[in-house]
Structure 1
Amino acid sequence: MKVKKSMSSLDLYSWLKWCRDRILNCYIDNIYMPKGNLIILKLKCKSQSFNLVIEASRRIHLTKYTFKTTETEQYKIPLFCTILRRKIRDKKILNIYQYDFERVVIVEIGRVEPEYKLIAEILPRGVIVLTDRDNTIIYASEFREMKDRSIKVKEKYTLPPRIGIDITSLSPKEITCKVKEYAKSTIVRGLVRALGIPGELAEEICYRAGIDKNRRVETLNTQELNSIVKALSDILSEVNHGKGYIVYDGDTPITVTPYKPVATHGRIVEYQLFNDALDEYFTYYMRLEEELSAREKVEEEIARLETSLRKQCELIEKYRRESEKYKRIADKLMMNLHILSEFLKCIRSQSENWYKAIDKCKSILNETVTIKSINPSKGLIKVTVNGDNVDLDVRLSAYDNISKLYSLAKEFKVKAERAKEALSRLEEKIRELKSRMELETIKARVAIKRREWYEKYHWLITPSGFLVIAGRDQSQNESLVRKHLKDDDIFLHADIHGAPATILKVEGSKPSSRDIEEAALLAAVYSKAWKLGLHVVDVFWVYGKQVSKSPPSGEYLPKGAFMVYGKKNYIRNVALKLALGIEIYNNSYRVIVGSEDTVKSKTKYYTILIPGDEDPYTVARKVKEKLLSKCSEREKYIIESVDLNEIAMRIPGKSRIVE
């Protein structure tokens, strides 16, 4: 099975069926553009916030992941992102729909009436386009001139040519008629062409119908055609359940579907929501692409240096051979110094021309040294010494000629040593780049980080693994009690005016006294006691069933307030001392808080805070610097990628680092 690259029409149909109502009437709080063909709409809705990711030619869904986009001087906000912020930020999503069962999603945006359309083309070579209400293009993720349409500013937007048909509205008779039109095709190909469906869906239909996909359509009988119709009907019925499925080949996801695929031998993971399956599947491949991109950039540099390395090795070998050659010749000539001296004296004493002088004097030489050629204009005689050629200068003495050869041998030896030093520097640089390649891969992986639902609150995980959440403001206190507090949960509150509603989620298990004490710490440190600079504060706890949002008759409860009935259990003198650390796991991280023992059990990179006089952002910077000084080179890269805001958000208020 081929790896799925983009959402199909059926995928879009299923996703919109279950997510449309969650998105409608949400305000667009901000727009981000981590990549040229990918935008993220931060949506603010009545009860919660969402991030809607739209990637041309690939996907559209809500995501739990954050994509790091550091808007600094080095990062220039794309013009399309700037225009989107100017036009649609703070406006409402009034409608979102799939155009005619094609791979095109249209989002209508405005305050009361639609003012703009954001069009996401999920088909091959698709784009994201912003138009006005009359379909005039304002801007796009990419501008193109195509055979049947063009994407240009101020031109009317034209939809892509139709590819498929709406299979959800076809009757059984219409399906069989359309399939029969491709009588000469194989069944699987006939289904693809007749219904405009992807190959994986056509194969699934054949498998469920119990029909060989490679048979010809013309061989199908009425019963088999009915089996095909029923298989498609069953799949569409499953799609309406809203679940999602990812198929794995080993550890690699290869497809994601809104129905449970049976025509596969891969491992299948089921998700309660198709949106979550889409999020996991496509984020996996986005992270993989980012990692590969980061590696490729470094690999190109390594390849260039390795070419230089090979040339340097060749140069070292050349210098070594030259040095050895000149030393070898010099040694031989030194052994024949007397003969060489007599020969050169003989040459210099002759007044005849060079050729006659050579004829007269060559008898002085022995078989070790033979004359190969002469260059009278330069005063050089090329001789062969045991197979090695060398020039002798007749104007110099034999000793000076030999000294010159030794000097050349030494010179090439020095060159070889310098070349070796350069080689060592190249090798070191390559080692550094290979190390950097791993770190760049980690950086790319960390840049795409899953954000859990509870991370918008104050939170911690107790020693036994219980989740504790606390409100950041009155609105969150209200929503926590109304939405997340169950009868068996433990509700905690610092015994001071101005404290968060805190919940220890028990999920059917019984927390220990240590778990409750850990939860009490969260309730205490994020209360007004920290801002007042107190050292301790009392915290009480009750069961969820003792807490009510209903006031006594004739009274009024303001937003974020609640009534507590029955006995309160007190934890006295909870120390306002908070451990804050960065937990590293699966080459990613999260900023954690809790007691020192709890945080220390999860990470060695932590510090201790108490109420002080430095603002959270200043403390966050100091915390990060302190933790960076402790960590290894590999982990340093992860901690460097931690946003200071992530640390500052976990700091209760003005603080001081004590260790």
Structure 2
Amino acid sequence: MDQKRELSSIDLGALVTELHRYEGAKVDKAYLYDDDLLRLKLRDFDRGRVELLIEVGDLKRAHVADAEHVADAPGRPPNFAKMLRNRMSGADFAGVEQYEFDRILTFEFERDDENTTLVAELFGQGNVAVLDETGEVVGSLSTVRLKSRTVAPGAQYEYPASRLNPLDVSLGGFERHMRESDSDVVRTLATQLNLGGLYAEEVCTRAGVEKETPVEEATDDELRALHEALERMGNRLRSGDIDPRVYEEELDVESEADRDPRVIDVTPFPLSEHEGLPSVGFDSFNAAVDEYFHRLDRDGEGEGDAPADASPSRPDFEEEIAKQERIIEQQEGAIEGFEEQANAERERAELVYAQYDLVDEVLSTVREARENEVPWDEIAETLAAGAERGIAAAEAVVDVDGGNGTVTVELGEDNTRVELEADDGVEVNADRLYREAKRIEGKKEGAMEAIESTRRELEAVKKRKAEWEAVDEEDESGTGSDDEEEYETDWLSRSSIPIRSPDDWYERFRWFHTSDGYLVIGGRNADQNEELVKKYMGNHDRFFHTQAHGGPVTLLKAAGPSESADPVDWDEETLREAAQFAVSYSSDWKDGRGAGDAYMVEPDQVSKTPESGEYIEKGSFVIRGDRTYFEDVPCRVAVGVQCEPVTRAIGGPPGAIADRAATSVTLEPGMYAQNDAAMMVYRDLKERFADTSFVRKVASADQLQEFLPAGGSDIVE
């Protein structure tokens, strides 16, 4: 059975109730581990030290942790952690809420000078956004720019589209949503009702309804039984009547003495679907969640403790394929949901026009009363009295909300509820509904883009599986060459990779090694440009620069700084790689150009002596004599992980990096900011290695960012 790696909406609903008990605790410090685990250290007057963990990577969770389950503080805090410390140190924890029925928690922190909202998105790629008092994004772990929503510094935070809450839906609404499905009962509960697979099966079991019953064949009594099971589950969560359990795998008698059982799931109450599995009870759901994820981490570490010379194990392609297929199924369900919502808004707009006179009478009555300063509660009483006298317009009104200035009416044969802005006319209200339908359709387009991305990931996994199987078949058939003395290690599949850290003099500069093994170094700023020319440029080196202003000094080294060098007959590939390095880290990339021009000269052509009457800026030089030009050089860099002879992140021209890295990602000028692109590359690389802790140690997002050009980037598929 797969181990649970993400908290569900029902889990979060149970957690929120318990997290409120920590209100009033003061924030001490913020830490960020591995670019996806946020730790807030708080101090509570009654409880002492409180450790709040929020993880949004491969694992998605949010809970208070036992101090013994918290890792030591990492080294130098990244910018995100520094920003949190500046905004939140000394702030009071003011509460937490779950956004509707989504896997989103909103934490509120209050301080005399400024309040801060922390939004934890525990779904999809995962994210944490920090908002100011106006709802503007101050910072986020990832930048999101979709047609449906934007999460980026300086923008107003936008929540995803609202999802139906299956624990609050009325019987009529439940039956309507179910009857609109053409799938079976359990799939409809999982996708259309947003329960997810496990709890959808649990509801079916508790209601005594066969899971695979087609919805069209389900009786009214069966739907009523399903709704009652949902209601009981919702009431139990709201009342705090929980019995938390951590479920473990079953072990046969012989294996029990060999190892501790793996944890499988954590739930706020016992599940019929897990009947027969061993479980451990807890006093609080938070304690159960903390113990579960602590043991899950421990299980993962145990699996990675194989010796360095162990043979590579086969990745679990089937599990990854199943995971991607589940994501696609959920995304398809979301698309159907957007279609339903858009159609519903459009139908409301058409009903407003179809009953124009009635709606106009309602709105005119309310506007006239407001112009005469009649209080909202008196307007509601007047409309209720009119309904008792049989006035059609008054009978249509089901709610008057003075706080929001709205009137809700029931229109059409199905008594569809439509919320109207009281200050606006019929046309404006109908147009607002049409615009809402169009906005939801925009979210559908974003979801369709996401599903295409997931499908590409699925195809990539299937391709890797096929390649692995082809190698296995070759080994079994003995077609491999017996004369090969050198064995190429499959680093991606090794469960444990030894760390061999380098200590090279050039690593503070930009650098890479060409395909032929020559070192190329470039300056990161004006000071380094000066230093490279004055201190490190040798007689037989080559100096590269771009035609565009704002490029780094780039040196193709014939030898190291303390080594004697002879003239080198550079081949064309080496020279073009150096030229591509110079172009890619210049303003050509920052300006979004796909290619640029570079030139090469010998060291004696480079001077700091300007012409008479001229001035040279720091980091700039005068070039005299003929130049060798390289035109239309592509702006491309590859960033990857090197495993031998040392372990580290590397980056540079794709042609030079491909053979040195165990795996790499190629980028071109694009839309993602440098730090966001680094995070995307980090997550991509981490998923490729069986030993994910290795990538975290040698190629964190901060380390990878050192090899990315300034400006926006896109990953080249």
- Which TM-score band (shorter chain)? 0.3 to 0.5
**Which has the greater radius of gyration?**
1
TM-score, normalising length from structure 1?
0.43
TM-score, normalising length from structure 2?
0.40
